[in-house]
Structure 1
Amino acid sequence: MAQKAVQNYIPALTGVRALAAYLVFVSHYYYVFDDTFPHIVQRFLGEFHIGVSIFFVLSGFLITFRYYHNFHLTTDWFKQYLKNRVARIYPMYAILTICAFIYFFFTKDESITRGYDRPVWLLIMNITFIRGFFYRFWDTGIAQGWSLTVEECFYFSAPIIFLIAKKYGRFYIQPVIITAFAIIMVLIFSHVDWYGFFSNFPFVMLFTFFGRCFEFYVGVQLARIVLNKGFERTNKIVYTYLGFALIFLCVLAMAFQPIPKGWNAGVQSPAGIIVNNYFLCIAVALFFYGILTEQTVMKKVLALPFVELLGKSSYIFYLIHLGWMYNLVHSGTNWLNDYVFTLYDKWGVDWHSPFENDKLNLLYAFVLLNAIAILLFKTIEEPLNHFIRKSDFLIKNKKSNPENSSAQIK
């Protein structure tokens, strides 16, 4: 059963990626509902950054599910592994990041550079993912792209994680050592003024792999369980809905935390960090285990072809939902609103504009950004992904490589 499980494709897990991206979207624009919902509801929506945790646990699961039983620490294997990771993640990130700095060149929008006066150097730091280690730069360029630095750290670490777990049986001690390393780094560099490199605990614990490694390890352990036991189980616990409920219980717990000075969410408080980094990911793993082993309405919805398409394009949606692309959409909406009222003045009528309501405009932006994401996925991301996998980049192409046809594995 375990061997058969490795070959299965789970469309619902692709659909989960769309759900995660949309949760992050809500967390960035919940303020639009300030005059609609009570304060605690606004705080609740503001903690929907949990979509990032879902991505991290999912990455840990998928990479382990694919590679745990067939990794070899040889040069050729590692080149093929890196080639597949580059094909999946890098092209669209690089293209959209370069576009962000072109946008800055024309608009001087400091949300791209955060006031740093060396944009070329900053572009290099963004393209190479280095910016994710510096508190001064982590939210420059495509701000939400900080999570890709975290992902890349896991990708490079995964073969070592597998080796230590299989050869030495040291699995559970690994995240403890990595987190201890993060603490030591902060204690050292909090006294060094080097652009915020490992400069404070909230930054390191929430925005670097060293602080968030436990989420990936939970995904890794889930995959090890499934690889060992398969998709069959005897107990009747509905893990899908149990895990889903626990996820939002964690959100509620973070919503009740005081927001530390200089930050903007409860997750950045000490208790919020603990809930987000150590309890939320366990709830996510229970949710995934239910998706993998149960037949529920939620699983059927997440596996619908259109939801699956949204999941496949969700990586692009995540990269464009905040920042320069959204700014262009928002500016376009404002222009349309002004143009409509100009027409009304010309016609001598006193009508409402379809673009005067911020909530509707957010909905328009959501739909348009999804359409753009699907278009870019079909015309650029997917073709480039396949091209790189089939090319001789890093290592000569092996036509029998099973991952060349995999759409789900990140």
Structure 2
Amino acid sequence: MKDDKEILALTGLRFVAAFYVFVFHIHIRWPVTDAKFLGNILGQGAIGMSLFFILSGFVLAYRYADGKTPLRAYLINRFSRIYPIYAAAALVTLPWIGISMGDGSAAEMGKAITQGFLLVIANIFLVQAWFPQFFDYWNNGGSWSISVEAFCYVLLPFLLPTLTRLPPKRLLLVAIACYALATLPGLVGFIFPDAPRGVYYSMPIYRLPEFVIGVCCYLAFRNGWGEKFKPIHQVAFLVTTTTYLGFFGPSIPNYVGHNWIAVPFIAFMIFTLSNGKGILASSLSGSFLVWLGKISYSFYSFQALVIMFLISYHDQILVRLPALANNKLFLLFALFILVLISAIGYYLIEEPARRRIKNAYATRSTAVLQTAPL
């Protein structure tokens, strides 16, 4: 059943973000093109994560800015939306948890058990992104973003009422301040390149400004600020940004170093696509892309499983399917497998679990109301 509030172009855009991240992960391991310009663009696919966070802020503000959803119902909605697939993706990637038993001595075994315990606890409570040391273990190289989202979800009910009440000029100042905060980690990472991997990239506090920018974008959109923009502006900004990445993508080693152009580009695209006008909005609203957008959370969550499997069994796969030595065909093969797994995950885990959790909450709430004294 279609959600009456759904903005179809943004649903399609959600898959574009997940696909960009996936192609990036394939390309950095098995390059799919020798063309320097295109390779530079694909090599910056981590920008897709900024798209996720800004888009998430926009969509959640769109759904909850009216203030009619009780806090408990909001949290249940968010939990039912992300946790079932998140847990499933964690379970199926356990063979790649990455903990070494060392020489098998009691000391090494104790260390491995402690590491495993900390990883499991951090993942259960969605706090793994706060510890950059965890980034290369298990599927944390992908699930860190869910940890970031959980942090933003918890803060939204406290941020949104304040942002909603702001007059337009102050809302603009908040957005500008968040833009500055979103670009600062990239600047610092460029000047001090020896920072531990993942500090600026995956820690929730550094990603929060992107989420808040998404919220501000929706509030500006609701106020009619987007009416003066035309579809041609989308095309111009898209060409400018991709040209920049094509020529200068590798010049900044820190992925968030491109936020100075990526963040306003993403915010503008979301802002202008939301009115459904123009060829880009129409393309993203197509039924197939919208379907892919619906399974995109499963697509993103299970890509770690597919990529780690392909890394572990790459040589064996090529022995059985030598045509996949062509990395372009290998990408298509990996994409097909991932879409298939994602569709299965969406229809058999994500949607049924979401409905059951929400129905259980609704049933319990009804029971409480019925037994409450008058």
Bin the TM-score by the shorter chain.
0.7 to 0.9
Percent identity reads 24
Contact 1:15 1:303 in 2 (8 A): yes
Q: CA deviation at 1:89?
A: 0.8
Residue number in structure 1 paired with 2:142: 144
Aligned partners of 1:355 and 1:152: how far apart in 2?
38
Query: Does 1:372 pair with 2:341?
Result: yes
Aligned partners of 1:82 and 1:237: how far apart in 2?
36
Amino acid across the alignment from 2:121: I
Residue number in structure 2 paired with 1:64: 61
Matches within 5 A, 1:221-370: 221-229=216-224, 233-234=227-228, 236=230, 238-249=232-243, 251-252=245-246, 255-259=249-253, 266-267=254-255, 273=257, 275-276=258-259, 278-322=260-304, 324-329=305-310, 334-339=315-320, 353-370=322-339
Q: CA deviation at 1:303?
A: 1.3
Deviations 1:330-377 (A, max 9, x none): 65664454346xxxxxxxxxxxx3344333222201111111101110
Question: TM-score, normalised on structure 2?
Answer: 0.79
Aligned partners of 2:360 and 2:31: how far apart in 1?
50
Query: Does 1:91 pair with 2:84?
Result: yes
Contact 2:234 2:272 in 1 (8 A): yes
Deviations 1:180-226 (A, max 9, x none): 8xx9xxx9xxxxxxxxxxx9587443212321222212211111022
Residue number in structure 1 paired with 2:370: none
Which ranges of structure 2 fall in alignment gaps of 5 or more residues? Answer: 103-110, 189-193, 368-374
Q: CA deviation at 1:245?
A: 2.7
Aligned partners of 2:307 and 2:32: how far apart in 1?
22
Q: CA deviation at 1:247?
A: 3.8
Aligned partners of 2:219 and 2:50: how far apart in 1?
19
Q: CA deviation at 1:250?
A: 5.2
Contact 1:71 1:159 in 2 (8 A): no
Gap change, CA 1:256 and 1:391, over 3 Å in 2: same
Q: CA deviation at 1:314?
A: 1.1
Residue number in structure 2 paired with 1:403: none
Contact 1:175 1:213 in 2 (8 A): no
Aligned partners of 1:250 and 1:156: how far apart in 2?
35
Question: TM-score, normalised on structure 1?
Answer: 0.72
Aligned partners of 1:237 and 1:295: how far apart in 2?
7
Amino acid across the alignment from 2:210: E
Gap change, CA 1:338 and 1:200, over 3 Å in 2: closer
Contact 1:15 1:302 in 2 (8 A): yes
Contact 1:333 1:355 in 2 (8 A): no
Aligned partners of 2:355 and 2:179: how far apart in 1?
34
SS in 2 for 1:293: coil
Aligned partners of 1:372 and 1:396: how far apart in 2?
34
Of the structure 1 ranges 370-379 and 169-178, higher mean CA displacement relative to structure 2 is found in: 169-178
SS in 2 for 1:64: helix
Residue number in structure 1 paired with 2:372: none
Structure of higher RCO (CA pairs closer than 8 Å, 6+ residues apart): 2
Aligned partners of 1:37 and 1:305: how far apart in 2?
33
Aligned length: 344
Amino acid across the alignment from 2:346: F
Q: CA deviation at 1:293?
A: 2.4
Contact 1:247 1:284 in 2 (8 A): no
Aligned partners of 1:256 and 1:68: how far apart in 2?
39
Amino acid across the alignment from 2:155: S
Aligned partners of 2:101 and 2:354: how far apart in 1?
31
Contact 2:23 2:45 in 1 (8 A): yes
Aligned-CA RMSD value: 3.7
Deviations 1:246-281 (A, max 9, x none): 44245347514253xxxxxx42xxxx52x32x4312
Q: CA deviation at 1:395?
A: 6.4
Aligned partners of 1:243 and 1:174: how far apart in 2?
19
Aligned partners of 1:160 and 1:178: how far apart in 2?
20
Contact 2:17 2:51 in 1 (8 A): yes
Deviations 1:119-141 (A, max 9, x none): 23212212212221112113422
Aligned partners of 2:363 and 2:72: how far apart in 1?
6
Amino acid across the alignment from 1:238: I
Gap change, CA 1:36 and 1:65, over 3 Å in 2: closer
Gap change, CA 1:128 and 1:229, over 3 Å in 2: same
Of the structure 1 ranges 53-62 and 133-142, higher mean CA displacement relative to structure 2 is found in: 133-142
Amino acid across the alignment from 2:251: Q
Which of 132, 157, 160 is the aligned partner of 1:159? 157
